[in-house]
């Protein structure tokens, strides 16, 4: 039975544990963002008119409107911003970019005062991600709780986002795939919270012929859409699909905005250099197709579920024209596994650069260097070679393949 890769005790005895220097560099690279916010903190406002907790203000603001059944305001960008100003004075422009399936969560956390809600959000979703990561965490990387100190995890804490929750659903879904494909499909279906982050999962499942997981995933999505439509009205989904999604898509062309520095997209990188949208598409389309092809071919070749899942996580951020570094929490696990499993120096370096890139790439992007897509490409190729390339069978035979 295939299962996600974990390093056996025998394996760790033959390999050097991760250097503390790597952890220090990763933590410091992300800590600079917290430091800049602290230096500019005044009355809850940090850099650029953001409020502390940053995008969690949308979860909390949205929850207030959801509990008041004011769905018309929720997805009306102008009206939403006016309402948010009454809660957070002088805050910069935001919009509620999450689908209606997020409404119960937002409503729940909005019951608490903002500071307690933020602490509960990060603490609860962070603990869930640690739980989901335990059976994926390489022994040579130290305690699984360190997953919260990877650069992408720190950025997710800084940004107050859904990264831990969606990452946990992703890992738990793959973990369940062999033993309980129906449960796996349900977990994948729940990734409807941020559906674009599951874009390559159906390709991998189709290539493996995982029909029960696919069926349960489709049913889960249908029930979530149907249930939320009955509870909140179909109009909410219509506004999300044809209003909010268009607004979010426009962010691919980030211009000189700060959030553009956090994009993982090759298209956004091109658009920082030039306004030529056709050129950006000319770059992004083959990158997306190559990423999808790597996942499909790895699945068809019978790559163990663990390796396939971590490759899929990396390739997702290559394939998407719209994605950001704070959601790369699973990619961090894959980078560490690839580093510890490296059989060539270039593999170790490629994995190390990918591990550090979420925060370092912000500075690189300021200098015009698209570090994130380049680093993700290097990591994906490393994972591909370790999974299906020369020596892959020998490497896997030195590892365990069990969740026991």
SS (H, E, C) 74-92: HCCHHHHHHHHHHHCCCCC
- Indicate the domain borders of the chain: 9-41+116-250+257-397
Could you give the C-alpha distances from 140 to 7, 115, 127, 162, 372, in angstroms and in order?
8, 36, 21, 27, 25
Give yes or no for residue 312 having a pLDDT over 90.
Answer: yes
Residue 10: the pLDDT is 28
Query: What does the alpha-carbon distance between residue 297 and residue 288 come to, in Å, rounded to a whole number?
Result: 14
Place 398 in a pLDDT band, splitting at 50, 70 and 90.
very low
Query: Chain-wide mean pLDDT for the chain?
Result: 88
Residue 255 has pLDDT above 90, yes or no: no
Report, as an integer, the average pLDDT of 28-39. 91
Alpha-carbon gap, residue 331 to 337, rounded angstroms = 10
pLDDT higher than threshold 90 for residue 397:
no
* Length of the chain measured in residues: 404
pLDDT at 4: 40
Q: From the CB of residue 223, how many other CB atoms can be counted at a distance below 10 Å?
A: 12
pTM over the 0.85 mark: yes
Q: Residue 250: what pLDDT?
A: 66
Confidence of residue 3 (pLDDT cuts 50, 70, 90): very low
Predicted local confidence at residue 395, as pLDDT? 40
d(CA 130, CA 164): 9
Of 138, 108, 156, 190, nearest in space to 327 by CA: 156
pLDDT, one tens digit per residue, over 197-247 is: 999 999 999 999 999 999 999 999 999 999 999 999 999 999 998 887 767
pLDDT at residue number 104: 97
Query: Is pLDDT above 80 for 295?
Result: yes
The percent of residues in the chain predicted with pLDDT above 70, rounded, is: 89
Q: What integer pLDDT is reported at residue 366 of this predicted model?
A: 79
Tokens of 252: 């691919």
Cα separation, 270 vs 386, in Å, equals 30
The average pLDDT across 120-131 equals 98
Residue pair 343/163 in contact (Cβ under 8 Å)? The answer is no
Given this model, what pLDDT does residue 404 score? Answer: 30
Q: Which residues lie across from 6 on neighbouring strands?
A: 400
pLDDT at 256: 62
More confident call, 253 vs 26: 26
């Amino acid at each position: 039975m295939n299962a996600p890769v974990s390093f056996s005790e025998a394996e760790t005895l033959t390999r050097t544990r991760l250097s503390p220097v790597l952890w220090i560099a990763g933590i410091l690279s992300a800590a600079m963002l917290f430091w800049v916010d602290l230096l500019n903190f005044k009355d809850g406002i940090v850099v650029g008119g953001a409020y502390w907790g940053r995008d969690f203000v949308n979860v909390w603001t949205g929850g207030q409107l959801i509990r008041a059944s004011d769905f018309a305001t929720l997805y009306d960008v102008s009206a939403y911003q006016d309402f948010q100003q009454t809660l957070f004075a002088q805050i910069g422009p935001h919009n509620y970019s999450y689908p209606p399936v997020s409404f119960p969560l937002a409503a729940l956390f909005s019951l608490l005062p903002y500071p307690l809600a933020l602490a509960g959000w990060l603490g609860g979703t962070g603990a869930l991600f640690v739980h989901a990561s335990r059976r994926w965490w390489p022994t040579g990387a130290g305690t699984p709780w360190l997953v919260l100190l990877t650069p992408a995890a720190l950025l997710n804490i800084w940004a107050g986002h859904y990264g831990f929750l969606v990452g946990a659903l992703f890992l738990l879904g793959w973990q369940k795939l062999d033993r309980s494909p129906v449960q796996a499909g349900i977990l994948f279906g729940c990734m409807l919270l941020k559906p674009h982050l599951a874009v390559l999962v159906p390709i991998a499942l189709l290539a493996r012929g995982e029909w029960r997981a696919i069926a349960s995933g489709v049913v889960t999505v249908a029930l979530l859409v149907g249930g939320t439509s009955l509870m909140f009205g179909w109009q909410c989904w219509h506004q999300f699909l044809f209003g909010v999604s268009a607004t979010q898509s426009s962010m691919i062309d980030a211009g000189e905005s700060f959030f553009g520095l956090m994009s993982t997209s090759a298209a956004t990188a091109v658009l920082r250099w030039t306004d030529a949208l056709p050129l950006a598409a000319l770059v992004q389309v083959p990158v997306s197709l190559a990423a999808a092809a790597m996942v499909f071919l790895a699945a068809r070749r019978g790559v163990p579920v663990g390796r396939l899942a971590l490759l899929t996580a990396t390739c997702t951020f290559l394939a998407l024209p719209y994605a950001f570094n704070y959601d790369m929490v699973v990619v961090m696990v894959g980078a560490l596994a690839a580093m510890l499993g490296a059989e060539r120096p270039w593999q170790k370096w490629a994995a190390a650069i990918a591990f550090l890139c979420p925060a370092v790439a912000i500075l690189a992007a300021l200098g015009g260097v698209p570090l994130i897509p380049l680093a993700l490409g290097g990591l994906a190729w490393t994972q591909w070679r370790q999974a299906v390339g020369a020596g892959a069978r020998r490497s896997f035979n030195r590892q365990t393949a069990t969740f026991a």
